[in-house]
């Protein structure tokens, strides 16, 4: 099997760490790994397979002889350095928001639109984590009938906001439970996250939606190449460490029965069905954490509209919502069967 020189930009971050572990788990054919991060991490070492690899500072000269460059270093660094990687001959798979809505750059979920990956001009964009989870969940239904409208509410874990957000939830929980504090300091989130939910992810826009909510609208339309599809999202941060949950209500052109939907989910790619309410079986964040698939349950006909279905989807946003999707794109363009 052909081997590839791979660079990981943002290797010390949460997604960067998961990228390394997933490449090892899936035996991605890495010939040489280049670990890249900010100057603060230069000289430190990370372990990949049985080798200790020294971290180098990310720069425009980091990509000589690199075949695949996996970026998870933030949008500003992607905008600055990804074009240099592509000009050096690498295929960039970028996990930030930098290029997602660029008409010249494909936005890819391998279970949904794999062919789009092959029209890249050096850069492929990874969608937002919540968009990926929803896209994988609705694809089997879209294959039965075009979807006209989606109303989705997300319940997003704190790890989606980074390591400092995890620490804030831990700290606030200890202060409330162990120390009995009534006044809680917040630095990452605008209000207390422990024992609370926050209906606000990313900045508010003029239309009243947040940037995160509009990502789900815009990115879903691009992935499905269906600009008649409308998505209304409410994104909520919840005091859960890992995995995002989504309540998804869809309206289709043609009627899809619950039994048709269950069959489609059982046969769909990247999905696990947990849908047996008589035995209290449905997916929770604990079920999906550390797992690759998107989990589906609570499937029911929507009683408020003629051709509607409601369902519950849960996925690990660090894996399928970010790192796994990127590695799957790399496998796709390298012709590797997963």
Q: Which residues are catalytic?
A: 129, 244
Beta strands in the chain (DSSP E): 4-9, 30-37, 45-48, 51-54, 56-57, 68-71, 91-94, 123-125, 147-156, 230-237, 244-252, 271-273, 294-301, 308-315
Number of Cα atoms under 13 Å in the Cβ half of residue 50:
0
Sign of CA dihedral 32, 38, 39, 45: negative
Helix (H, G, I), strand (E, B) or coil at 322: helix
Please enumerate in sequence order all residues whose Cβ is within 8 A of that of 232, keeping only pairs 6 or more positions apart, or say none. 149, 150, 151, 152, 217
């Amino acid at each position: 099997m052909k081997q590839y020189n791979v660079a990981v930009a943002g290797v010390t971050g949460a997604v960067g760490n998961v990228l390394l572990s997933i490449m090892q788990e899936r035996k991605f054919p890495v010939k040489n790994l280049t670990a890249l991060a900010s100057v603060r991490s230069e000289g430190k070492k990370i372990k990949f397979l049985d080798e200790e690899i020294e971290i180098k500072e990310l720069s425009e000269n980091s990509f000589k002889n690199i075949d695949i460059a996996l970026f998870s270093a933030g949008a500003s660094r992607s905008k600055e350095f990804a074009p240099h990687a592509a000009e050096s001959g690498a295929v960039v798979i970028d996990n930030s928001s930098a290029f997602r809505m660029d008409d010249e750059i494909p936005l890819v979920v391998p279970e949904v639109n794999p062919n789009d990956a092959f029209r890249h001009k050096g850069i492929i964009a990874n969608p937002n984590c919540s968009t990926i989870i929803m896209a994988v969940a609705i694809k089997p239904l879209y294959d039965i009938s075009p979807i006209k409208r989606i109303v989705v509410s997300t319940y997003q874990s704190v790890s989606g906001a980074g390591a400092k957000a995890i620490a804030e939830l831990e700290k606030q929980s200890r202060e409330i439970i162990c120390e009995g504090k009534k006044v809680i300091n917040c630095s990452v989130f605008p209000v207390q996250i422990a024992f609370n939910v926050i209906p606000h992810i990313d900045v508010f826009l003029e239309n009243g939606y947040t940037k995160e909510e509009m990502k789900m609208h815009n990115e879903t339309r691009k992935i499905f190449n269906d600009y008649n599809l409308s998505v209304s999202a409410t994104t909520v941060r919840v005091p859960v460490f890992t995995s995002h949950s989504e309540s998804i209500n869809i309206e289709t052109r043609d009627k899809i029965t619950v039994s048709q939907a269950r069959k489609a989910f059982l046969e769909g790619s990247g999905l696990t069905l947990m849908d047996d309410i008589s035995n209290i079986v449905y997916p929770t964040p604990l079920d999906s954490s550390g797992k690759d698939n998107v989990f589906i349950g609570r499937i029911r006909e929507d009683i408020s509209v003629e051709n509607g279905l409601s369902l519950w989807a849960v996925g690990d946003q660090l894996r399928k919502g970010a790192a796994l999707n990127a590695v799957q794109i790399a496998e796709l363009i390298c012709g590797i069967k997963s």
